[in-house]
Structure formats: structure tokens, C-alpha cells
Amino acid sequence: MSRIAYVNGQYLLHSEAAVHIEDRGYQFADGVYEVFALHRGQMVGEKGHMERLTHSLNELRIDWPISRRALAIIIREVARRNRVKDGLVYLQITRGVARRDHPFPKDCESSLVVTARQLPPLDKEALRQGVGVITIPDIRWKRHDIKSVSLLPNILGKQQAREAGAYEAWMVSEDGMVTEGTSTNAWIVTKSGQLVTHNVSHAILNGITRLSVLEAATGAGLSFEERPFSVAEAMEAKEAFVTSSTSHVKAVTSIDGESVGNGHVGELTGQLLDLYVDFIEAKGGPANTSIWN
């Protein structure tokens, strides 16, 4: 079956889908994106992704190319036409096509591209195989809450991780605090057993998976702290893991080559993976998305 992409009003063969060379996304990274996970045919956290997309567009003053309702229909249609039951839908909105010039162009219509890709179904056993992370300086701009397509520091960081044989790079602010991974949120379970992840601020992208895990933890009566943690604290932690729409809840067993805890997947991490899967299957995604309203 051929893959299908949606580009500005048309469903096209993926191999033939294209945008104009003067699309501002291409020239300036002047655009935003979202990645929606599909799990057993269901969209995960749709409301949260839509709220976050609205936030990103508003902060960059990019117009909605179509209504939010129409977009929801297109996302489903792209998943359907590509027969994706487990995988992801990628959505990108840029400010549009205009003669290259820095200020916002007048009378420019924003561009919309939606693609979908099948991925192996969520596999708890694979997620319980611990992975390594490295730490790198966070050299990004100061608005990580905006899901911009401008991802150079993230791709350089991820490449550095891969070359070091690690799964992810945790980015560290100038004051020594771990902000997040290049495409994941970062979590630890401290020496004293406290679950910790960075608080919501401009320093992180508030992950939809992060919100689901927090709601699932609350539902199970588990406590957590939303605050920055240092590399030193992470090195001493009992457990660590990362979350994202495509990494789900993935155990981290080493940081910069040093074992986390006893070097095995932590008990709470395993429990949170189970809680997360039950949560998205029962609830579909986080209800508490008021942060973006």
C-alpha cells in the first residue's frame, strides 16, 4: 500500500508530496508541529496535543490554516488512509509561503502537512530494557514550551547521544539543572524514593505523556514533585526514565556511563509504565490540559 500525505487541502502520494521552496518553515523554521501517538487504533492524548498546538500557534502568532475540528478529521483520515493502528501522526503548520524576508508577511496563508507512520505496537518488555542517557549543555533558545520545528540543538544532541551509544541526551541548564531530553521529558526517583520531574515552565516542553503519567500516578495515590533536579541528584537517584509519545515510559539505567541505582530497571518505573498503559487505554489521555488555556 502506498503511503499518503496531506498537504494544504490535498491527499497526495507520500513520494510526491511537497511544499514550496519559499515556505517559511523551510527557510526560517517558522512553524510548529505535533506528534500524536496511535495505540491500538486510538489517538493518545488528542485534546492535550490540540491545546498545546493552540499554545504554540498563539505564541508565534501563526494563524490556524483550518478549523480545529477540520484538523481533527484530517488527522484521523491520514491515519486511516495509511492504515496506521499503532504508530504516529505527524502534523506541521508553518507561517506559509512568501518572498524571503524576516518580518511576518502580509496575506500569507499558513501551510499544513500531515503524515502518518506505522510503528511496532507498544511493547512493555522492550520498554523495560534500560537505556543510557548522556548529559549535554542546553544550548536552546528560551521558549521550550513552544513546539517549534526549529530543532537544531535537539538533533545535534540526539546525534551526540547516538555516537556515544546512548538513547537520549539530557540537556542541562547553565545552573546545572536537567531540563529535559532532546525529544523526551526526564524523570528520576530520588534516593529517598520521591518521583521528580521538571515543573512546567518555559524551560521544558510539557509532554502529553508527562501529563498522562502524572495523572496516572495521582490516580494510584503516588506522590510526586514537579521541580528541577541537578545532574548530581540524578547520578545519585534510585531510578530514572524518560517519557514521550513514542518512547512511552522508558527506563534509564545509566547516566554518562554510570549506573542508575543498581543498574536495573526500577520498581516504580515498571509500575508507572503499567499505570500509564492502563491510563491511556481507559482514559485516552490527560484530562488536565488547563495549563495551555
Q: Which residues are catalytic?
A: 147
DSSP labels, 49-76: HHHHHHHHHHHHTPPPSS-HHHHHHHHH
Asked if 184 touches ligand PMP (CB under 6 A), the answer is yes
> Which member of 82, 92, 148, 245 binds ligand PMP (CB under 6 A)?
245
Asked if 209 touches ligand PMP (CB under 6 A), the answer is yes
Stretch that binds ligand PMP, among 89-97, 183-191, 193-201, 230-238 (CB under 6 A): 183-191
> Which member of 8, 92, 135, 185 binds ligand PMP (CB under 6 A)?
185
Amino acid code (one letter) for 113: V
Query: What is the H or E stretch that residue 135 is in?
Result: strand 131-137
From residue 25, how far is each of 28, 31, 93, 94, 204 by CA, in Å? 6, 5, 8, 5, 22
> On the CB side of 219, how many CA atoms lie within 13 Å of its CA?
19
Least separation in angstroms between CB 266 and ligand PMP = 20
Stretch that binds ligand PMP, among 54-62, 190-198, 241-249, 264-272 (CB under 6 A): 241-249
Asked if 254 touches ligand PMP (CB under 6 A), the answer is no
Tell me the residue nearest to ligand PMP as measured from the CB. Answer: 207
The three three-digit cell numbers of residue 159, written as one number: 546525534
Strand 248-255 vs strand 10-13: parallel, antiparallel, or unpaired? unpaired
Nearer to ligand PMP, 97 or 169 (CB): 169
Burial of 174 (0-12, 13-18, 19+ CB in 10 A): exposed
Stretch that binds ligand PMP, among 59-67, 79-87, 177-185, 265-273 (CB under 6 A): 177-185
Asked if 207 touches ligand PMP (CB under 6 A), the answer is yes
How many CB atoms are closer than 10 A to CB 274?
13
Least separation in angstroms between CB 1 and ligand PMP = 27
Binding site for ligand PMP (CB under 6 A): 35, 180, 183-185, 205, 207-210, 243-245
